[in-house]
Structure 1
Amino acid sequence: MTMTIEATTAEEGTFLQSAGRTRGAAWLVLRQHRVAAWSALGLLAVLVGALVWLRSGITGYTGGHEVTGPGNDAFRHLNDTYGDPLHYIGRFLEYLPLLVGAFVAGPVIGRELESGTYRVAWTQSLSPMRWFAAKLALPAAALLAGVSVLSATYAWTWRSLPLEHLPGQWWWRNTDMLGPVPVAHALLGLAVGALAGLLVRRALPALGVTILALPVLLLPVQWLRDRMVAPATELSRDMPGLIRGNSDWIVGRGMVDASGGHLPEPDCGIGVRPEDCLAQHHAVGWYLEYHPGSHMQPLLWAEAGVCTALALLVAGAAVWVMRRTHP
């Protein structure tokens, strides 16, 4: 019985000592990058404050003015004073994953491997895997918290706009900026940066590899974006238009043959009437594929899920590389 208690106590002591080393490593990471951490926190506060101010201005202005369209003075003032600044903040959210990946690939991982300072940590009873985990745990936690707050505040402000009059703000043109998508993209950027840093082992080249690799990974996601949720289909005898306002995202149009099959939209030439075009191709009507506004949230969450899965795969590859090169 005494031997069992002693063994259990020894195991608990080892666990506590290991946990203490990991917490100490995380604290060291924070100390090393405290300037970047404080700068990111300050930038987050500024952007959230700006979004709150923009929403207050938008709701106040639209409550007292009639915004009817591009030819309206109220529209121009709203777009110039509030719409454009909001769009710039959205663009920052869109490109934030590149900044995250570059920072992780360069200063966090690549610079330490290039300079050899990681050996100091490894000689202080900290294993290579614990060092790697500590390097990524803090940025990952900060991203989940910070980008979630920024993305939620951006969407809250974006919804206050009269979106039907602002084509540049339509939801299907801003999916990189809305909901969970920026968070998932940022986590993917972190994973790509970590893998690039481990493979390249030099700060600036690893940074460049990340900036090139992340868009390549996201390209097929963007190609498949409109197919992650099945679009709605509308049939008509008349040729449907390709613009239906801000709530519907048109993704396809074509003809329907006598058997009900879909034919891609043909090139019938300039000046040919839609009914004559149908006759030329022995079709009986038209179809339109689109995503209504109700598809926005399912599409956002579907893309976020795909990007999170990609981030886990890339992170798994980084762990494999770490174990292979530093067992």
Structure 2
Amino acid sequence: MNNPTQTSAGPDGSLTSAPAPVSPIATSRTRGPRLSGVTWLVWRQHRAGFWTLLAATAVTVALLVHQRADMLDHLTAHGYGRPDSASDEWLAGIHPQRLQFVSYGFGFIPLVLGVFLGAPLLAGDLENGTAKLVASQSVSPSRWLATKLVVSALVVIVCTAALSIAFGRWWGPVKYEATVLGWSDGPAFDNTGPVPVALTLFTVVSGVAIGMLLRRTLISMIVTFAFAVVVQVVWHFQRLNLGHVITVTTDKGVGPGAPRVPLPEAALEIDHWLLSSSGQTYGWGTCAHETSQKVCTQKYDLVGWSVDYLPISQMSSMQWFGASILFALTAAVAVFIFIWGRKRLV
């Protein structure tokens, strides 16, 4: 469409035309950041999945914020935290069940995004020939790969970080209640802090690598599903190894009347041992087959207990340590994608 012109008389009486003033509204429409080039192409290609993920995250975060406010009102109504109140009265409500239900659901996010976002990201283009079309243009394979990974990673990071913050704030007021969610268990540990971001990003980028190697969407999704399950299992068994175990001992006896070993609030007890005066430890069932506790105490010269535990104060450091390992693995997989994809992408 041609720009409108205005006609006016010149000094010699002749008619001249000049462009009409541009409307400020039209000028403002062209300003501001806009996607272009490969970034626009990647976003447009996957916009349905990206917008669905962002919208679902926004709705979920709003619901979690509402649940937190509702739970705080519930705790206040039951006098939670007051010295004269029973700390478990609030458990009769539905909030513990909601926390548990949501936390278990969030545990599937890395698997779902790895299968439905990561695996098809390159496998679909390689299978339907889009990769060859892109390679025939002026865009280099490295730039195309980088844009694909960066845009997808940013969406994953924004969504998982928002969910982590919202869920952490919801769980925060009752984090010391092990009967609701134990801080060292997956439903709490893996859904707060940097862990959900790191776990999801690693699974998604690994799914991209699997799709690049297999070059078929369906088989890539199946293999990524199996890979994500293995990652979750390995992470489950290695989670407690991220912390520094603390040992506390007593020398007040081991009988029924002996005082319990003092542990910090919400501490996770790893193991406990019978302790002799020489410092040697015996399994807690050592006296099970003795005739009496007194005979066992004299036989092994027992003086107290030795308890290994992890305090809740280590939760944040454990999460960041584990997340740093996952981020490093993610970076290694991304480097492999670039090295492999630069020459073998098409």
Q: TM-score, normalised by structure 1?
A: 0.81
Cα offsets for 1:176-206 (capped at 9, x unmatched): 1111110110111122111111111111111
In the alignment, which of 22, 26, 29 is matched to residue 39 of structure 2? 26
Does 2:318 match 1:299? yes
Equivalent residue, structure 1, for 2:241: 227
Equivalent residue in structure 2 for 1:191, among 184, 205, 215: 205
Q: Within 2, Cα distance between the matches of 1:319 and 1:84?
A: 45
CA distance in structure 1 between the partners assigned to 2:64 and 2:311 by the alignment: 27
Find the aligned partners of 2:328 and 2:297 in 1 and give their Cα distance: 44
Q: Look up the match of 2:91.
A: 75
Matched letter for residue 201 of structure 1: R
Contact 1:243-1:250 at 8 Å conserved across structures: no
Query: Does residue 117 of structure 1 match 2:157?
Result: no
1:210 matched to 2:224: yes
Kindly tell me the number of residue pairs found equivalent between the two proteins. 300
Equivalent residue letter for 1:30: W
Instruction: After superposing the two structures, state which structure 1 stretch, 296-305 or 317-326, moved more.
Output: 317-326
Per-residue CA distance 1:99-138 (angstroms, 9 max, x = gap): 2211234331211111122111111112222221121111
Which residue of structure 1 aligns with residue 336 of structure 2?
317
Q: Does 1:51 align with 2:70?
A: no
Q: Does the residue aligned with 2:123 lie in a helix, a strand or coil?
A: helix
Aligned residue in 2 for 1:176: 190
In structure 2, the residue corresponding to 1:224 is in which secondary structure? Answer: helix
The alignment status of 1:167 with 2:179, answered yes or no, reads: yes
Counterpart secondary structure, 2:224 = helix
Question: Cα distance, 1:69 vs. partner?
Answer: 5.8
State the alpha-carbon separation in 2 of the partners of residues 203 and 99 from structure 1: 15
Larger mean CA deviation between 94-103 and 53-62 belongs to: 94-103
Q: 1:103 to 1:286 in 2, by over 3 A?
A: same
For structure 1, the 5+ residue unaligned runs are: 1-21
- 1:254 correspondence with 2:273: yes
Give the percent of matched residue pairs that are identical in Structure 1 and Structure 2: 27
CA distance in 2, matches of 1:35, 1:242: 56
Alpha-carbon distance in structure 1 between the residues aligned to 2:101 and 2:330: 26
Moved more, 316-325 or 275-284: 275-284
Structure 1 segment 262-301 matched on structure 2, within 5 A: 262-266=281-285, 268-269=287-288, 283-301=302-320
| 2:73 equivalent in structure 1 | 60
- 2:55 and 2:316 mapped to 1: Cα distance? 30
Query: d(CA) in 2 for partners of 1:274 and 1:305?
Result: 48
Is contact 2:120–2:220 with CA below 8 Å preserved after alignment?
no
Query: Within 2, Cα distance between the matches of 1:180 and 1:150?
Result: 11
Partner of 2:107, secondary structure, is helix
Structure with larger Rg: 2
The answer (yes or no) to whether the contact 1:106–1:202 under 8 Å persists in 2 is no
Report if aligned partners of 1:248, 1:293 keep a CA contact under 8 Å in 2. yes
Cα distance in 2, alignment partners of residues 104 and 170 from structure 1: 31
Distance 1:105 1:51, change over 3 A: closer
**8 Å Cα contact 2:113-2:200 kept in structure 1:** yes
Q: RMSD of the TM alignment (CA)?
A: 2.9
* Cα distance in structure 2, aligned partners of 1:113 and 1:139: 17
Kindly state the Cα deviation for residue 320 of structure 1 after the two structures are TM-superposed. Answer: 2.9
Secondary structure of 1:126's counterpart equals coil
Can you list the C-alpha shifts for 1:151-180, whole angstroms capped at 9, x where unaligned? 01110111123743x513121122111111
